[in-house]
Copies of this chain bind each other. A is one copy, B any other.
C-alpha cells in the first residue's frame, strides 16, 4: 500500500462497505420473521423426513459466489425453492425421531438478542453481563430442577453453558485426566482407564478418544436387563485394572440413555468411583429436564456425589440448539485443566481471581451470549409452563406405551419411564425395518430405531413443541396400519 494514498484519504476515509443499516435490518427483519412464523404455521404440509436425493440441494445453488450484492427477495425465494425441500423438519409435530430439539419463540428471540448484541464473553471483562447472567440462570436451574447445592456458583462449584453434551463430557474427561495424572505418581495417560456403558451415548467414547485415552482404555461395563450399568461389574473392572497396573480415572454414567432411556445407578457408581479416586461425570442430556417436575426427580438420584453433570435444555427444556447446561462440584478442577492465559487476555479482574472467565470452562476461547435464550425461556414459561411441557410429553408417551402393551403384535422393548418408548413388532427385525420405512416414507411422521439385545427396535420420542395428543395417536395408527399392510 502506498502511504501517500492513505494520506489522501485522510478526513474523508476509504469508502465503507454496503452494510445493512439498522433501518434496513428492521425492514428485512420483519420479512424474515414473517417467513419463520409462516414456516411454523405450515410445517405440517411438508414430509417430515426430507425426500431429496444426495446432491439435489447443491444442484439448486450456484457453483460460484456472487460477485456483487444480491437482493434479499432472491434469498427468500431460494429458501422456499432450494432449502425447505432439503430439510428434515425437526419442529414438525410428527417428528418422533432421535430426541426433541425445540425451536420456541422465546429461545428464537434470545438468539436474536445474542446475534444482535454481538458480544463475545470469553472473559468476564469482555462483557460482564454475558458471564453473570449465565451463572445466575444456571443457579436458577439448580433450584428449578432440585439439583445438588454444591453445583451452585456461590459455593465452590458452578454451571456453564456448553454447546453440547459431547463437549461437556470432553471437558469433564480432561479434568479427570489431569486430576488422575497429578495424584497417581508416575502414571501416564496410557495407564488411565475410563468406564462407561455400552448404552452410553457414542459421544462418551468419542470424547475419551479426543482427550487422548487409548481405544483399549475405554471399558464398556456390563449392564443389567434394564440396560443400566452394573455397579458390581464396574467395581470388578476397576479392581482388575488396578491389578494390571492401570489407573481407574473416570466413570461416565447416564441418566436416560439415548437408545432406551435407561438410568444408571448413579449413587452406587459414584461411591465406587470415590473409593477408587475416580471422577464421576453424569450425562442427563435428554432426561435431566424432567427434574423440573417434582414427581420426576428420580432422574437426579445420586447426583449429590458426582463431580460433573450435564443436561440439554436444547433437548427437552424448550431452548433451541445449542444450549447444554453443565455443572461441576469443584470448579477449580475444571479450570485448572483448561486454563491457559496469554498476555493479550490478561486484565485486572481476571488477575484478582474475583470473577469467572468462562473461557476456562470450555474448549473454545470465544463464546456467544447463550444464556439470553435460556433466560427468556425461563421467563416466558415460568416453572409452571416448563412443567406442563414435560408432563404432556410424558403423558402422551405413556399413552402410546399403553397401546403398545395392549396390542397383540407389539411389545415394549425397554422400560418407558418418561417420554421415549422403545417397542417392536413380534415379526422380527425385517418386519420392524419395513414398518419404520413405511411410516417414514408416508411423510407425516418420522421415527427412528435402535438395537437392544441384538434386536432391531423402534423408538418413539415425544417432546417436540408442536406435538399434541392427536399426533401421537395418529402415529400409532400409522404404525399399526403399516404392520397390517405388510
Contact = CB atoms under 8 A, between A and B. Distances in A.
Contacts of A485: none
Interface size on A, as a range, is: 35 or more
A431 interface: no
A365 B398 contact: no
Interface string A3-32: 101110111111111111111111011101
A133 B57 contact: yes
A353 to B, nearest CB: 11
B74 A379 contact: yes
Contacts of A321: 118, 120, 366-368
Interface string A415-447: 000000000000000000000000000000000
**Secondary structure dominating the interface of A:** helix
Given A26-B37, A54-B124, A14 B396 contact: yes
Interface in A92-124: 98, 101-109, 111-113, 115-120, 124
A33 interface: yes
A103 B115 contact: yes
23 contacts: A14-B469, A18-B381, A22-B37, A26-B37, A29-B33, A54-B349, A57-B133, A67-B384, A70-B380, A75-B376, A83-B133, A87-B127, A90-B127, A91-B117, A98-B126, A103-B117, A103-B118, A112-B112, A166-B365, A205-B340, A206-B363, A259-B344, A321-B368
A333 interface: no
A124 to B, nearest CB: 7
A30 to B, nearest CB: 6
A449 B321 CA distance: 35
Interface centre among A118, A124, A201, A367 (most CB of B within 10 A): A118
Contacts of A235: none
A380 B54 contact: no
A39 B378 contact: no
